[in-house]
Structure 1
Amino acid sequence: MHQITVIGGGFAGLTAAITAAESGAKVRLYEAHHTPGGRARTSEGPYRTNEGPHALYLRGPHWTWLKQRGLLGAMASLPPREGARFRFRRGGALRRTPPLAMLRLARRRPEQAPVDADFTTWATAEVGAEGARAAAHFMGVALFHHDPGSLSAAFVQERLRRATALPPEAHYPRGGWGQLSDRMVARAWDLGVRIETTSRVDALPERDGPVIVATSLDAARRLLGDDSLRWESGRTTLIDLALRTRRGDPFVVSDLDAPGWLERFTAQHPSLAPARQQLVQGQLPVAPGRSKADGVAHAEALLDLGFPGWRERTLWRREALAQGRTGAVDLPGTTWRDRPAIDRGHGIYLAGDQVAAPGLLSEVSFNSGLEAASLALLAAGRTTEPLDLKRT
């Protein structure tokens, strides 16, 4: 029986490995780090952080898949009292509501937005400049991009509709995303997947069967020697803070003057930080030529507005710059179908968050993992029906 090799043990790689093993294939997975999980790994210690804010969207395709396998686990949603603690920076001041025009725009169906036009041009014609600008900046929460208004209108509008859905789609694994990836790892082990950690792969291994490369696009480009494996992504300063608890702190500070987002993650599940402490995570997109320090300065300005006395209350702090690690964004005239194809020929398949698969945030990794596994199983003779992503 042919072996299917998976390189990379993040969300995409684990999805592909489980899918292939469930069909009876022999699967080996290589992971460069000590533990699988990729960007879904949750840090050890008192502050349970990930690489940037993480949420699982209720209507996403992976929700049902995880639930059917008993992998979803306990999920936290936004407590009703926290829903009133959204704050929006508009004109340099914190406000309780966004512009009405932005809310009207969010109700437009995604198919009403053109692929070929940029979001700002289309949205301005729909609701005016103020609403268009606020909506574009609000979408920093899901795009991690310094100028969402420059992206394809259809791409941004689809995400705006879901990010503003009521009731909110976003849910959070209790204990952090690491709990979810741990359950996926256990499922893979139970199915007989051979997982080799601390095994960085710098060249394709000798193989007797298909290979699924479930790494970042940059790593895949180096591994496969294929310079065409490129796609637009975001560049974002990430900041994590542990603060002494203070009554009245907001749940979210969303910057509508420029893309930026702070979220008090312990509002959904206090287990992410010690008692009487709260964990605040933020992502502040930065343009090419700007530095991590620019993003930090942006974060501190939002903290000054929304979290009085935050400097004196800070017990722990961490900063990072994420470049090319925030998922694909589609420019005007392009859709997910134009991204690097999953099938690279010669039994090699790509999976990850910048390849040709639909979805919001981690859904791209999930859908590409399913598709890559389906094609690998087909090549190995384990199935006769490839997955049709156009139906997802």
Structure 2
Amino acid sequence: MHRITVIGGGFAGLTAAVTAAEAGAKVTVYEAHHTLGGRARTAEGPYRTNEGPHALYSAGPHWAWLRQRDLLGPLAPLPPLEAARLRFRHHGVLRRTPPLALLKLARRGARQAPVDGDFLSWATRQAGEEAARAAAHYSAVAVFHHDPGALSAAFVQERLRRATRVPPEAHYPRGGWASVIDRMAARAWNLGVRVETLSRVDTLPTDTPVVVATSLDSARRLLGDDSLTWTGGRTVLVDLALRTRRGDAFAVADLDAPGWIERFTAQDRTLAPAGEQLLQGQIPIPPHASRSAGTDRADDLLDLAFEGWRSRVTWRREAVANGRTGAVDLPGTSWRDRPAVDRGDGVYLAGDQVAAPGVLSEVSFNSALTAVSLALGRRSLDLRRA
């Protein structure tokens, strides 16, 4: 029987553990914190927040994998009336529809963007500079970078298409992402996976293949490998609860600068106490900007879309996610150029900043499948069907 060690009990680590155990391996998971989930944890208490506006994209490979194993659980659908309350800030004014030229850039029939060029230059040639900037800023909902226009055109185009698809790909597990993590953990336990929480690993075991499913920073320190770096974003996260008011926007996308605010209780009222609404804003900022640069912009968006919000606040929390929002690809690079999954000597990486395709959590999922397939000496296709 194969033995595999997984370091990290987040989404990537649990995906690796379940996949390996289903293939017959004996798996041990080490998690440094007292709970599993990593960035997919949902806060306990009256306000059920995630670290970032988590969503599952239904066209991704992890959607089918979770559904086949009955791990998706109940989803929180967005009522049609709420969906109609998506708003856009453009030229400082709140609008109901985005520029038509933006939609032209996002449609599936648009010309394939190049890897080597930046998105703003390519999109300007296709639809004009105004539409290009609006499209770049809108893509921040899936990019988490302060200047999406400077990134690889192919990288941004893929995320723009996925984020604007109709009907929407984004789906929300009822109760937050912790509900999915709990079901994955139960699946792992039923398969015989051994899970050790509060177990920080400082030295790699040498008697089993190891899947390192941590942040890239943690993996770099653990492996002593300075090459494990990749560009990421820096994003201010603003969580706040407001007393309920009819007519509030479901979400507001900033087309004048990268930024997004979403009312998560629009689809899942269990995330906040009765009579309150839970919102989260994600405002990307440059590497050396202060947190207030993001919170001030979030407040401006709130002023536009949530009338009287300042007098309705019942709770607020702010944080900066630095390099914790996934990889971004600069012009001339793609996911293939990121740190390889196979590190040699039976060590494999999994996570959202390594060499695997996909959008958002799909990168963690795909890298976990690849890591396990390599560790077991099997083809990824076999494991996807397992």
Structure 1 length-normalised TM: 0.96
The match for 2:324 is 325
Fraction of identical pairs, as percent: 73
Q: Take 1:14 and 1:185, find their aligned partners in 2: how far apart are those partners?
A: 7
Q: Take 1:329 and 1:274, find their aligned partners in 2: how far apart are those partners?
A: 36
Q: Take 1:110 and 1:320, find their aligned partners in 2: how far apart are those partners?
A: 37
On the 8 A contact 1:2/1:208 being kept in 2, the answer is: no
The match for 2:335 is 336
Task: Give the count of matched residue pairs.
Answer: 383
The match for 1:88 is 88
The match for 1:270 is 269
Q: What SS does the aligned partner of 1:112 have?
A: coil
On the 8 A contact 2:104/2:110 being kept in 1, the answer is: no
On the 8 A contact 2:2/2:376 being kept in 1, the answer is: no
Q: Take 1:340 and 1:110, find their aligned partners in 2: how far apart are those partners?
A: 30
Q: Which of 257-266 and 305-314 deviates more?
A: 305-314
Q: Which runs of 5+ in 1 are unaligned?
A: 379-383
Deviation at 1:111, TM superposition (A): 6.3
The match for 1:138 is 138
Q: What SS does the aligned partner of 1:117 have?
A: coil
Q: What SS does the aligned partner of 1:242 have?
A: strand
The match for 1:281 is 280
Q: What SS does the aligned partner of 2:172 have?
A: strand
1:361 aligns with 2:360: yes
Q: Which runs of 5+ in 2 are unaligned?
A: none
How much is the aligned-residue C-alpha RMSD, in angstroms? Answer: 1.3
Q: What SS does the aligned partner of 2:279 have?
A: strand
Deviation at 1:78, TM superposition (A): 2.0
Which AA in structure 2 matches 1:251?
A: F
Q: What SS does the aligned partner of 1:44 have?
A: coil
Q: What SS does the aligned partner of 2:214 have?
A: coil
On the 8 A contact 1:52/1:239 being kept in 2, the answer is: no
Q: Take 1:386 and 1:261, find their aligned partners in 2: how far apart are those partners?
A: 36
Deviation at 1:232, TM superposition (A): 0.6
Q: Over residues 184-208 of structure 1, what are the superposed CA-to-partner deviations in whole Å (9 max), with x where a residue is unaligned? A: 000000001100001111222x332
Deviation at 1:325, TM superposition (A): 0.3
Which AA in structure 2 matches 1:222?
A: R
Structure 2 length-normalised TM: 0.97
Which AA in structure 1 matches 2:50?
A: N
Q: Which of 24-33 and 70-79 deviates more?
A: 70-79
1:103 aligns with 2:103: yes
Q: Mapping of 1:185-224 within 5 angstroms?
A: 185-204=185-204, 206-224=205-223
Which AA in structure 2 matches 1:310?
A: W
Q: What SS does the aligned partner of 2:78 have?
A: coil
Q: Take 1:26 and 1:53, find their aligned partners in 2: how far apart are those partners?
A: 34
Q: Over residues 91-129 of structure 1, what are the superposed CA-to-partner deviations in whole Å (9 max), with x where a residue is unaligned? A: 111111111100111114476111111000000000001
Q: Take 1:77 and 1:156, find their aligned partners in 2: how far apart are those partners?
A: 27
Deviation at 1:130, TM superposition (A): 0.9
Deviation at 1:385, TM superposition (A): 2.8
Q: What SS does the aligned partner of 2:288 have?
A: coil
Q: Take 1:245 and 1:173, find their aligned partners in 2: how far apart are those partners?
A: 22
The match for 1:261 is 260
The match for 2:349 is 350
* C-alpha spacing 1:110/1:336, structure 2 compared with 1 (3 Å): farther
* C-alpha spacing 1:110/1:199, structure 2 compared with 1 (3 Å): farther
